[in-house]
């Protein structure tokens, strides 16, 4: 069935370094892959997304790459800053019938000043 | 202001006492969902609705009920809450269509004693 695995569960980096979070999925009928950021005590908010017909998308310091053959997609954050510290969730929509968004387990990113 | 609202934000109750968490959106979104968030388990979908009077089970529907009598409202009902339903609950909504952004409500933190 549809499943999204996210790694690592926690990630600690020094300010200015890059951070990479990877997600793999099991269902090849994939359409759309958003990434959400959840700051402490707040709601998840969309930060970037990618469709299945695109291999890479960039927005300032964040980028997402998609490898459909290998069934994985990754979030890349460059020049990390303390305000990037949060929980990040990947997600995917695998059925256009239900439109159900399936989330990964989340990655807690800590950026040390 | 376009938003998803939930009430209450915090709730402490006792086992077996029926409760309802309300969710409302003012963006004319067709698709609405309820999630629960537990440490290490990410966001798990409880129920979703693709439009008025159309609801379906998500991944963890046991012990919950929903209704969608109006497009803007999607209440979550716990008929007989149990301690294992202690969690952080999020309502979310988006337009129908695979690549549409999903917006989350502020969350409801529930403690069942």
Q: Output the pLDDT for position B2.
A: 80
| Short-list B57, B55, B50, B58, CA closest to B93 | B50
Token pair, residue A21, equals: 């979070």
The set of residues, in sequence order, having a beta carbon less than 8 Å from that of A26 and lying 6+ positions away, is A1, A2, A3, A71
pLDDT (mean) for B13-41: 95
B98 to A93: CB separation less than 8 angstroms, yes or no:
yes
Q: What is the DSSP letter of A83?
A: G
Q: Output the pLDDT for position A97.
A: 65
- Cα dihedral B46, B98, B101, A111, rounded to 10, equals 80
Token pair, residue A10, equals: 């926690």
- CA of B29 to nearest chain A CA: how many angstroms apart? 13
Work out the number of other CB atoms within 10 angstroms of the CB of residue A63: 17
Query: CB-CB: which of B96, B98, B106 is closest to A31?
Result: B98
As beta bridge partners, residue A57 has A64
Q: What one-character-per-residue DSSP string does B49-108 give?
A: EEETTEEEE-S--TT-EE--SSSSB--EEESS--GGG-EEEEEEEE-SSTTPPPEE---E
Query: CB-CB: which of A99, A104, A105 is closest to B98?
Result: A99
- Whether A97 and chain B come into contact, CB under 8 Å, resolves to no
One pLDDT digit (tens) per residue for chain A, 113 residues: 678 999 999 999 999 999 999 999 987 677 789 999 999 999 999 999 998 888 999 999 999 999 988 899 999 999 999 999 999 999 998 766 677 888 999 999 999 99
Token pair, residue B2, equals: 């376009």
Conformation bin of residue B40: beta by default, left when phi > 0, alpha when psi is -120 to 50: left
């Amino acid at each position: 069935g549809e499943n999204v695995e996210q790694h690592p569960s926690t990630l600690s980096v020094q300010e200015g370094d890059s951070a990479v979070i990877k997600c793999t999925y099991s269902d090849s009928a994939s359409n759309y892959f958003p990434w959400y950021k959840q700051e402490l005590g707040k709601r998840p908010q969309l930060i970037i997304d990618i469709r299945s017909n695109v291999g890479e998308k960039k927005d300032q310091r964040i980028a997402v790459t998609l490898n459909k053959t290998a069934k994985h997609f990754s979030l890349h954050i460059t020049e990390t800053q303390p305000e990037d510290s949060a929980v990040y969730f990947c997600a995917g929509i695998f059925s256009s019938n239900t439109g159900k968004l399936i989330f990964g387990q989340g990655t807690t990113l800590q950026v040390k000043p | 202001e376009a938003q998803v609202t939930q009430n209450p934000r915090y709730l402490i109750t006792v086992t077996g006492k029926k409760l309802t968490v309300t969710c409302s959106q003012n963006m004319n979104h067709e698709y609405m969902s309820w999630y629960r968030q537990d440490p290490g388990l990410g966001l798990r979908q409880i129920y979703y609705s693709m439009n008025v009077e159309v609801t379906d089970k998500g991944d963890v529907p046991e012990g919950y009920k929903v209704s969608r009598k109006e497009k803007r409202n999607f209440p979550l009902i716990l008929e007989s809450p149990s301690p294992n339903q202690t969690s952080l609950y999020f309502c979310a909504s988006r337009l129908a269509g695979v690549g549409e952004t999903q917006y989350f409500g502020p969350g409801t933190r529930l403690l069942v004693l």
